[in-house]
């Protein structure tokens, strides 16, 4: 089972890389809401973003546990993988369900960084997290699909060459069940923007390059259909397990960042002639955060191991994401409290990381939906409304 001592060489390499991108780099980007181009380029050239792509397509094919270690160390170092983490796992839909021709055409470029596939078009304004109620529709017309609809909360669309899009190809009311009738299309954003696709940036609390997408008779070659028509929901769910495990690993990294910072500050900061860390009122919250995070890390490791072994891991992926996000948020709150007023100062990086880790209570799936999944799919309770 993976833990913070596994993949030591990878972790050390990531730490060295991140050392070249200190807090001042992220603070400047945060103020301007700019994309961390240099950071993403460096990660790509080091091969860290292609870790899940098989060697035959130019990646290292090391598995999800290695990817989790990379993202954990990025976040523990004070950096943020949100600008590029989807480059790691979004291609999983293509890898598992794409045709041989699609894999050969796109995966080598994704592995080298020549192509960026890090946009994932699922969420819509009227459906929220009830994916079966999406309305974006792709109508087959000869050798192409014509797409109309809208997506929201789509990160990195302006910084991606390709996008995985989930759209209905059969109306919900006409499908045999709600999860049928959806298909996955690979969208070439370089060709689509201005020709049926409009991207509108959304300014948010976080620097995640979030956008809203509008489709107006966008034509997509039928060859860009991934897998079979009307079976796309299954393909997307398959990729979501990887996403949730990797997001959970980022939360573990955030939590370790906060605990590291709080512990160091509690040792160094003196008030009334002694280190504040001598006070149990300061010690105990740090210790509690450490205990919570350690337990969450075990669930993340279990979920990653199940995924790499090809075993069912839906419940574990969801529980890992929930436990890790809650542990990191508790550690963030503790760290701010430990630093007092300094926790709000930009130069300490804590307020930035505090904002970043809060996101994971909501995205990519909210805590309440995870509890609903466990209640109905694991415990067999009736579906709640």
Same domain, 69 and 123: no
Domain count, the chain: 3
> Would you state the structure tokens that stand for residue 344, as one six-digit string?
């709000």
- Which residues lie closer than 8 Å to 358 by C-beta, 6 or more apart? 329, 332
Domain boundary among 84, 112, 140: 112
Distance between CA atoms of 239 and 245, rounded to whole angstroms?
Answer: 10
pTM given for the model: 0.94
* CATH code of the domain in which 70 resides: 1.10.540.10
Asked whether 286 and 275 are in contact (CB, 8 A), the reply is: no
CA dist 7 and 119 (Å) reads 28
Tell me the per-residue pLDDT of 104-154, one tens digit each, with 9 for 90 and over: 999 999 999 999 999 999 999 998 778 999 999 999 999 999 999 999 999
Instruction: Summarize pLDDT for 170-201 with one digit per residue, the tens.
Output: 999 999 999 999 999 999 999 999 999 999 99
Q: What is the pLDDT of residues 330-359, one digit of tens each?
A: 999 999 999 999 999 999 999 999 999 999
* Tens of pLDDT, residues 65-108: 999 999 999 999 999 999 889 999 999 999 999 999 999 999 99
Q: What is the per-residue pLDDT across 3-53, written as a single tens digit (0 to 9) for each?
A: 677 999 999 999 999 999 999 999 999 999 899 999 999 999 999 999 999
| Assigned domain for 85 exists | yes
**Which residues are the active-site residues?**
243
Q: Are residues 83 and 189 in the same domain?
A: no
Expressed as residue numbers, the domain containing 211 is 117-230
Domain co-membership, 226 together with 239: no
The secondary structure of 132-149 as a DSSP string is GG---EEEEETTEEEEEE
Q: Are residues 92 and 127 in the same domain?
A: no
């Amino acid at each position: 089972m993976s833990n913070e001592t596994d993949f030591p060489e990878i972790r050390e390499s990531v730490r060295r890389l991140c050392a070249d991108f200190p807090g001042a780099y992220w603070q400047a980007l945060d103020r301007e809401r700019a994309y961390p181009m240099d950071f993403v380029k460096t990660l790509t050239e080091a091969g860290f973003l292609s870790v899940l792509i098989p060697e035959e397509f130019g990646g290292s094919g090391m598995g999800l546990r290695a990817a989790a270690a990379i993202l954990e160390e990025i976040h523990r170092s004070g950096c943020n993988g949100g600008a590029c983490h989807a480059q790691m796992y979004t291609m999983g839909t293509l890898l598992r369900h794409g045709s041989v021709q699609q894999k050969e055409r796109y995966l080598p470029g994704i592995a080298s960084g020549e192509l960026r596939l890090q946009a994932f078009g699922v969420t819509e304004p009227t459906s929220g997290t009830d994916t079966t109620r999406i309305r974006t529709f792709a109508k087959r017309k000869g050798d192409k699909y014509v797409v109309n609809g809208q997506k929201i909360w789509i990160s990195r669309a302006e910084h991606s060459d390709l996008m995985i899009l989930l759209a209905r190809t059969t109306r919900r009311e006409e499908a045999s069940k709600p999860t049928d009738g959806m298909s996955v299309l690979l969208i070439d954003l370089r060709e689509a923007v201005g020709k049926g696709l409009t991207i509108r940036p959304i300014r948010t609390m976080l620097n995640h390059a979030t956008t809203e997408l509008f489709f107006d008779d966008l034509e997509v070659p039928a060859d860009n259909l991934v897998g079979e028509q009307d079976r796309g929901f299954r393909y997307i769910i398959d990729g979501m397990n990887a996403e949730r495990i990797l997001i959970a690993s980022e939360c573990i990294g955030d939590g370790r960042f906060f605990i590291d910072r709080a512990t160091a500050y509690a040792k160094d900061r003196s008030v009334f002639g002694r280190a504040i860390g001598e006070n149990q009122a300061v010690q105990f919250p740090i210790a509690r955060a450490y205990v919570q995070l350690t337990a969450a890390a075990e669930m993340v490791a279990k979920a990653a191991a199940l995924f790499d072994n090809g075993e069912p891991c839906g419940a574990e992926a969801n529980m890992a994401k929930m436990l890790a996000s809650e542990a990191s948020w508790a550690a963030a709150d503790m760290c701010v409290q430990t630093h007092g007023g300094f926790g709000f100062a930009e130069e300490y990086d804590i307020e930035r990381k505090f904002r970043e880790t809060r996101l994971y209570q909501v995205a990519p799936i909210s805590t309440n939906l995870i509890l609903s999944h466990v209640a109905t799919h694991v415990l067999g309770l009736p579906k709640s409304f």
